[in-house]
A and B are shown apart, each in its own frame.
Chain A
Amino acid sequence: MTIPMSAAPIAAPPIQTPLIRLSGITKTLKGQDEPRTILDGVNLTVHSGQSIAILGRSGSGKSTLLSLIGLFDRADGGQYLLGERDITKLPERKAAALRSAEFGFVFQRFFLLKHLSAAQNVAMALVNGQGWLPRRKRKTQVMEALDQVGIAHLAKHKPPRLSGGEQQRVAIARALVRQPRVLLADEPTGALDTETGNLVVDVLLKATHRGCGLVLVTHDHDHAAKMGSVLSLHDGRLG
């Protein structure tokens, strides 16, 4: 089934080429007994500066969808355009370069390396074999990113000494440090209390003010309501 372009309300000026256009995306995963079609014709458009919430029951395929958008994995069918570029069947080597340059990721768990400082954890996204920045430039960018999420003063702290909300903000800084065009967040507040969760969502939203697209997977309807548009994944479709 094909639905022309986006089923979502478009908040950003439509004159621009969208950052991301997914159409008719399908994905089948090996289930316990038989293969299960998780995504069955998903259409999604993300514009610059646009924020989208994706709701859905547990196991409905939200993470699977994010992993396709973020090029962790490739779709079985459909088309994926990044800007004007068709990246539906991108080889892994090029996908790694795009993950580095175009996307920022935030997950439910923070995945900080506990033996590295907050700053070093953020720098991890810069030290990935995709190009090279000298130490000083690296430091400037890391501090900018930490400042953007409001924890520049914690740069030297190691994760065990940080609260959950602070750790998640380090993770967001790590996602922002390369100034990505799209921010993908998979239940980033799932492990945080309400208040801290609100703070984290605000930090993510702030990034969209600079033109970054945001796709937020969440269970929290309050958080979803803060986004420019809200979609829900059901039976492998987005609506």
Chain B
Amino acid sequence: MMAPRNSILSGRLRSAVIIGGQGIRARKLRTFLSMISLFMGVLAVVTVQAGAEIAQRAMLSDVELQQGKDGTRVMYVPDTGASIIEDAMRGRTDAVASLGMNAIIGEPGVRPVNEGGMSFENAGRGPRGGDMWCDERGCYPMEQKGPEKPAGQAIEVRMQALTGDVRSFRPFRPVTGQWLDFGSAPSLAPRIVLNREAAKGFRMYQVPAEMSVQGATAHMTPQIVGVIDDGGYEPTAYIRIDELRSWLPSGTAQAADPYRGGGGLQLMMSPGTDDLEQTLKAKLAGTGLKAEQLQSNVINSRARMLEELAIMRWIFLGMAALVLLIGVAGILNVGLATVGERVEEFALRRAVGTSRMLLAGIVLSETLLTGLLTAGAAIGVGVVGLKVGSQIIGGKYPSLQGIEFPWQAGVAGVIAGLVAGILGGLIPAVRAARIPIATVMRA
């Protein structure tokens, strides 16, 4: 007699596996056709989810580095307020000011290879950028001031002179060497830290270590102490403002060339430093700066970007869901036809003691399995596609190099497969359970 060694549940489960397996094996072609009808939909879901994840990672990974953490208060102060700000910032960690200017490193008196401080990718290509002047009627190239300088071994970088450690606002990623040491005594040979693009320039060109800064009285010899990733694409060097100041009379940073860079100081403040802001504004007002010249705003780039990406993702997922729905209709169609064909088999199975629930469960698991197999195939195609794609276009977009297939896309694919399996299998399962056993007696 039947001696159930295992639990009732495991007997049911094992029976279901055998019966379901027999059903699928007897209809391999049909299972395959179901999978095809579902494949595009699941692939669409996987693709959207993978694309959204990758875009989000690429965009969000650098947004804090470039613009500062959400919540940071940013204020721009014209050059006339520079000395007040620099004095106020000394020794502070909850607020940092940076003064921007262009600097040329290399042979003196030559035209840098990337004139204007553009990225080295574009250096020497296309029209020489930079010097334009604009009025309400349009923009015009500026007339050359004197003879053009000869091209030479020099590179132009954006110089950011810092009053303190800016990394609490912009969390730069270390690449090699060290970051600026704000605690030590200022050095006469200014220490600079390069971003990756600037470091690339140093690798590509033999550049002597001589630096001229707009408005500086003499050339200086900088020491490069490290390289960081600041998320930016233009060559940039970071320097302690006090080390720069020994070469640069206060307040004259931009005087030499008002058309290049500039825009005064950028002040970044932690949340909760409202007092500092009020004090600074009062002091700056004393120098004749008007209140509307001292607007501050709070960074929320990351939050805004997340929100925009989320909206995009839902729109695309919605479209993918429509494609998936077509697949579900296909699997449902096949499922109903199959149940129609198997009426006698199901009636007989119930006659020999298979319960209604188990029968419905078997029909449902057959489509669920189809859905899962499809999900597996779609995820596989997604993984391979991403690998191939990142190899093909990865050269153009470095952020796409070596990206991993996001696990969220895999999860989305499995969920899509399961949902499609349930939607496509539920009605056939209910129909199968409702077949009267007496069907086997009507010959």
Contact = CB atoms under 8 A, between A and B. Distances in A.
Nearest to A111: B348
Contacts of B350: 96, 99
The DSSP consensus for interface residues of chain A is: loop
B353 A127 contact: no
Interface residues of B, number: 38
B353 A128 contact: yes
Nearest to A107: B440
A131 B2 contact: yes
Nearest to B12: A129
A130 B19 CA distance: 13
Contact of A93 (B6, B11, B26, B355): B355
A196 interface: no
Interface of A: 63-64, 66-67, 70, 72-73, 92-93, 96-97, 99-101, 105, 107-109, 111, 113, 115-116, 120, 124-134, 174, 178-179, 186-187, 190-191
Nearest to A98: B353
B110 interface: no
Nearest to B17: A127
Contact of B443 (A73, A92, A109, A179): A109
A129 B436 contact: no
Contacts of A111: 344-345, 348, 440
B139 interface: no
Nearest to A92: B356
Nearest to B26: A115
A113 B25 CA distance: 13
B286 interface: no
Interface of B: 1-6, 8, 10-12, 14-16, 18-19, 22, 25-26, 344-345, 348-358, 436-438, 440-443
A130 B353 contact: yes
B441 to A, nearest CB: 4
Contact of A132 (B14, B344, B358): B14
Contacts of A108: 441, 443
A60 to B, nearest CB: 13
B246 to A, nearest CB: 87
Nearest to B7: A132
Contact of A63 (B12, B22, B438): B438
A174 B353 CA distance: 12
Contacts of A128: 15, 349, 352-354, 358
Nearest to B437: A72
B18 to A, nearest CB: 5
Contacts of B353: 96-97, 99-101, 125, 128-130
Contacts of B22: 113, 115-116, 120
Given A72-B437, A131-B2, A132-B4, A190 B443 contact: yes
Contact of A130 (B2, B10, B351): B2
Contact of B349 (A93, A115, A124): A124
Contacts of B355: 92-93, 96-97, 129-130
Nearest to B358: A129
A101 B2 contact: yes
Contact of B441 (A66, A101, A129): A66
A65 B147 CA distance: 114
B11 A131 contact: yes
A107 B6 CA distance: 32
A28 to B, nearest CB: 15
A93 B356 CA distance: 8
A187 B355 CA distance: 25
A96 B4 contact: no
Nearest to A175: B352
A67 B438 contact: yes
A29 to B, nearest CB: 10
Given A96-B354, A99-B351, 12 more contacts: A72-B351, A72-B436, A96-B356, A109-B440, A111-B344, A111-B348, A115-B26, A124-B349, A127-B18, A129-B354, A174-B352, A186-B441
B10 A132 contact: yes
A72 B15 contact: no
Contacts of A66: 441
Given A115-B25, A132-B6, A125 B352 contact: yes
